[in-house]
Structure 1
Amino acid sequence: MHRKRVVLGVAVAAAAATVLAACSSGGSSSTSSNSSSSSGKVTLSWWNNANTQPLLGVFNNVIKQFETAHPNITIANVPMQNEQFKTKITPALRGNAPPDIYQQWGSGQQATQVQSGKVADISSDVSPWIGSLGTPATEWQTNGKWYGVPYDLHVVGFWYRKDLFQQAGITSPPTTIPQLESDDAALRAHGIQPIGLGSKDGWPDAFWWEYFAIRECSQSTITQAMSSVNLSAACFTKASADLDAFVKTNPFQTAFLATPAQSVPNSSVGLLANGKVAMELQGDWEPAAGAGLTSDKNFTSQLGWFPFPAVPGGAGDPKAVLGGGDGYSCTTSAAEPACAEFLQFLTTPAVQKQIIGAGAGLPANPAANSDLAVPAEQNAAAANAAAPYIAEYFDTALPTTPGQNLDNAVAKWFASPEATGSGITSSVTAPGYDAKHCG
C-alpha cells in the first residue's frame, strides 16, 4: 500500500458517522457483554453470501481449520444468495435474534447499522493486529471505533473476452469513452453483443452512473457530496448526460433489463463466461461468479481487464477507481473474544490464500497479494494499488436510505430511458430520507 494513496470512503465514512452519531439517541453500540472463557464452549452463527462453489467449500474448510485450532468454538455456517442476504439482514438487526457474525460492507452503511444497538464495538479485541491490513480496513470504523473487519477488497472495472475482441479486430482495450463506443460498434458489426448488464437486480446499473460521476467530478467534489448527502454539483448532472448519451449508442445485450446479475447461467456474468457478450462492467468477483455458470472451466484464460475509460474534459482523475470490500461484524449477542478471534483468523495469510484462490476478490491482507492466480485479477489489483484514490461504492459511502434511494433512482432511469437524469441527482435527498433522523 502506497503511503500517498487516499481511500475516499475513509473521509466519507467519518463524515457520515458524524451526522449519524449527532442524530442518534443511543449512538454507538457497546462491546458484547458475552465472553468466552478458556473452558467454556460457544457457538457462533455466521451469515454470509458464499452460497456457491468454490467459496462455499473454502469457507467450510476454513471453519474446520478454525475449530481445530479453537476446540471450544463452533461456527454454524448460514450461507445465503446475495440478494436474499441483503433482504434478511436489516430485519434481523431490528429483531431480538440477530446472527452472531454477519457480512457487511463498511462505511456509511455500517454507520447506519451501528444505530441498531446490535453491532458490537470490537476495538479492544482487534486493535493489536488490524493495523497490518492497511488503510482500506478503516472503512470498518465508525466514530473511530472498530465495528467490523474486511476479509477481501474489491475494484470495479471492465472484464472482457480476449477471443471476442480479436474476432472484432480490436487490438487493445479502449482508454476513452469514444474509443469504447467505437469498439462496441466493431463488435456489433461482427455479430457480437458488446456489453453485458444485469439490470434486473438493479445494483449493476449504479456502477455505470457512479463511474461517469467519478470521471466528471473531482475527488474533493465527490468527498463533499457523500459527506453532505447532496449530489447537486453540476458534474453529477453532467454524468447523467454522459450516461444518457452512452446508452443511446445501444451498447448492452438484448433484454438487459430482464437479465439478472449473477445468479444463473443466463445472467450477465454467465453471458460473459459463456462468450455471449464481449464485456461487462463488474467487480473482481467476476471470475469466481462465472466459474459456477459455465461448463468451460478454462474461460478465465480468455479474460482480460481494463479500467473504466476516461471522459474527455472531465475533472475526475482517470486512474481513480470505484470499489469497496467485504467484511464481517459481530453483534452484541456474540461471545467475545471468540467472534473477534474468528474475524482475525479470516485475515491470516494462509486463510487469505484460500479465500483469494476461490476468486472472492482482492486480499484484505496485503501479504497475500501474490496469491492471485488469474492474470486479469492481477491487472485489476495493480490498477487498484496504483489508483490515486478509491471511491467507495456510493450506496455504501452514503447512509443506508439515501444509498438505496440512489440505486433505485439509477435503476428506474435505466428502465425509463425517456426520464431525465435529475431524478438520479435528487434521489439522495428525496422524500424518505431526513438527515435529522438518520434515514
Structure 2
Amino acid sequence: MGDPALSRRGFLAASMAAGLGATALSGCGGDSDGGSSSGTTTIEWWNISTTEPTKTVWAGLAEKFEAEHPTVRIKIVQLENDAYKSKMTALTASGKLPDVFHTWGGGVLAQQVEAGLVEDLTDRTKDFAAGLLPVAKQPYLLDDKVYGVPFDIGMVGFWYNKAHFEKAGIGTPPTTWAGFLDAVRALKSAGITPLALAGKEKWPGMYYWAYLAMRTAGVEALRKAEDTKDFTGPGFVDAGRHLEELVDLRPFQKGFLGAAYSSPTGQAATVGNGRAAMELMGQWAPVVEADAGKGLGRDLGFFPFPEVEGGQGKITEVFGGGGGHALRRGAPQAAVDFLEFFASETTDRELVRKTGVLPVVPAAESALGDRNLKAVQTQLKAATGFQLYLDQAYAPAVGQEVNDSVAALIAGSRTPEQVARSITKTAGEAQ
C-alpha cells in the first residue's frame, strides 16, 4: 500500500542503549510499564487493522498471547492506513518507534534501518522465521539481514462483479489492455460504472501506473530506474499514456477524487454495494468490501492485470507485497516472543480462516477456503516476476512522488511526460 516520505534520522535515544534490556520503556514516549518494578512488561503494538473482522481477531490474539505470557501486556494502537503512515513519519523523525510496528518493508524500512531505529532480527528469529515462505520474507531482507517478520503476502489485481460483467455482455475477463478498455466501454454502455477509485488517498491510483509500467517497460526496467534515478524512458512515458487512455473514458465513480478507500462511501464500499463493477486492489479487497459495504458473495471474481500489447512485461509478472512486523531497536525479548506467536501455524491458520490473509506458514495453507483467495495464491505461485509496491520499494520521497504525480495525472493536471520527469527529479534529489 502507499507510504509517505520518512526522514533519515539519527540513532535511538538513550532508552535504547545496551543494559536497559527488558526494563526499557515503550518506544513511543514511555507509556508502557516496560518491565518496571511491577514485574510486567508492556509491549506497544502499532498496526493498521482498523476494519472488521481483522480488528477484533487481532485484539483476540493479543489477549491469547497475554494469557500465555502472564507478565506481558500488549497495548494495541490501531490507526487507519494514511493516519498510521503520517504518525510513523513523525515518530521516525523523533527517533522513537513503537516496540512492534506494521511495516511493508522495502525502501521505507531501509531508511529506518539506516537511521539505527530498527532491531536486527536475524539471530533472534532464526529458529522460527526459517520456515516461512521465502517470497513473503523478501521485503524485509536488507543486506541479507532480517528486519521484519511477515504475516501476509499477496498481489494486486482486479476484483470484479460477475453480474455486472454478464449484464454488459463481457464473457470472460480481459487479458490485454485493449480488451480491458473495451470492457470499460461495454460497462459504460450498459449504464454501469466500470471502476471505483479512492482518489483522495492517492496510493490506489498508483497501482494503475505501476502495473502499466511493469507491462510496458518491464519489471527489470523498474529496478534499473531505481538505480539510475531515471524514469524518463519510453516505457514509463507509455505507462502514463495508457493510463490517460483509461482516464479519458471517465470510468470512475462520481466524486472519486474526494473518495477514501475504506469509508462507507469509499472505493471498497462502492464495489461491495454493487455501484461499480471493478476495483484494482490487493488480496484484502473482499474483506474490506464486505466490511465497508455489503460484499458481493459469489458474484465476486478476480483476474490479473492485463498485458499491454507490444510491451516488455507479461501477465504472469505480479505487483504487490504483504504486511509484516518489525521491532524498534532495543525491544525486549517479549516483543520477539510476540512475533514468534504471530508467525506460528496456529495463529496463521486463524488469520487465514477469519481475516482472509494468504498463509505465510506453508502448513497453514490447508486453512485457505475462499475460492478467490485461492485464485490469488495460484497467481502468486505461478508468478514469473514480482515487484514490491513502488512506494515501498523505492526511497520514501520517491514513492510519495510516484503517488502524487500519478494522482495528478488521473486528475488531469499533469501529463505522462511530466510524471516521468517529476519522479526522475525526486529520485535524483533523494540520493
Matches within 5 A, 1:108-257: 108-136=107-135, 137-257=137-257
Which residue matches 1:308? 305
Tell me, in whole angstroms, the C-alpha distance in 2 between the residues paired with 1:24 and 1:43: 26
For the Cα contact (< 8 Å) 2:103–2:109, is it kept in 1? yes
Tell me, in whole angstroms, the C-alpha distance in 1 between the residues paired with 2:229 and 2:66: 43
Matches within 5 A, 1:333-372: 333-335=330-332, 337-372=333-368
Which residue matches 1:395? 391
List runs of 5+ in structure 1 lacking aligned partners.
Answer: 1-22
Q: Name the Cα RMSD after superposition.
A: 2.5
One of 390, 393, 415 as aligned partner of 1:420: 415
For the Cα contact (< 8 Å) 2:57–2:355, is it kept in 1? no
For the Cα contact (< 8 Å) 1:31–1:121, is it kept in 2? no
SS of equivalent residue, structure 2 residue 415 = coil
Tell me, in whole angstroms, the C-alpha distance in 1 between the residues paired with 2:361 and 2:245: 40
For structure 1, which segment, 364-373 or 141-150, has the greater mean C-alpha deviation from structure 2 after superposition? 364-373
Matched, 1:381 2:377: yes
Displacement after TM superposition at 1:319 (Å): 1.1
Matched, 1:331 2:328: yes
- Following TM superposition, where does structure 1 have runs of at least 4 consecutive aligned residues deviating by more than 6 angstroms? 23-27
Tell me, in whole angstroms, the C-alpha distance in 2 between the residues paired with 1:41 and 1:266: 43
Displacement after TM superposition at 1:33 (Å): 5.5
One of 315, 319, 343 as aligned partner of 1:318: 315
Displacement after TM superposition at 1:115 (Å): 2.6
Tell me, in whole angstroms, the C-alpha distance in 2 between the residues paired with 1:273 and 1:92: 35
Tell me, in whole angstroms, the C-alpha distance in 1 between the residues paired with 2:411 and 2:303: 27
Displacement after TM superposition at 1:36 (Å): 4.2
Q: 1:231 to 1:431 in 2, by over 3 A?
A: closer
Q: 1:429 to 1:183 in 2, by over 3 A?
A: closer
SS of equivalent residue, structure 2 residue 130 = helix
Which residue matches 1:93? 92
Q: 1:31 to 1:252 in 2, by over 3 A?
A: farther
Q: 1:183 to 1:221 in 2, by over 3 A?
A: same
Tell me, in whole angstroms, the C-alpha distance in 2 between the residues paired with 1:94 and 1:312: 44
Q: What letter corresponds to residue 428 of structure 1 in structure 2?
A: I
One of 421, 425, 431 as aligned partner of 1:430: 425
SS of equivalent residue, structure 1 residue 74 = strand
Task: Compute the TM-score of the two structures, normalised by the length of structure 2.
Answer: 0.88
Q: What letter corresponds to residue 164 of structure 1 in structure 2?
A: H
SS of equivalent residue, structure 2 residue 158 = strand
Tell me, in whole angstroms, the C-alpha distance in 2 between the residues paired with 1:224 and 1:81: 33
Q: What letter corresponds to residue 245 of structure 1 in structure 2?
A: E
Tell me, in whole angstroms, the C-alpha distance in 1 between the residues paired with 2:258 and 2:85: 20
Displacement after TM superposition at 1:26 (Å): 7.0
Which residue matches 2:32? none
Tell me, in whole angstroms, the C-alpha distance in 2 between the residues paired with 1:174 and 1:220: 25
Displacement after TM superposition at 1:332 (Å): 2.0
Deviations for 1:377-411, whole angstroms, at most 9, x for unmatched residues? 11111111111011111111101111111111111
Which residue matches 1:35? 21
SS of equivalent residue, structure 2 residue 58 = helix
Task: Compute the TM-score of the two structures, normalised by the length of structure 1.
Answer: 0.87
For the Cα contact (< 8 Å) 1:197–1:259, is it kept in 2? yes
Deviations for 1:267-297, whole angstroms, at most 9, x for unmatched residues? 1110100000011111111111112112x36
Which residue matches 1:292? 291
For the Cα contact (< 8 Å) 1:32–1:331, is it kept in 2? no
Tell me, in whole angstroms, the C-alpha distance in 2 between the residues paired with 1:291 and 1:34: 45
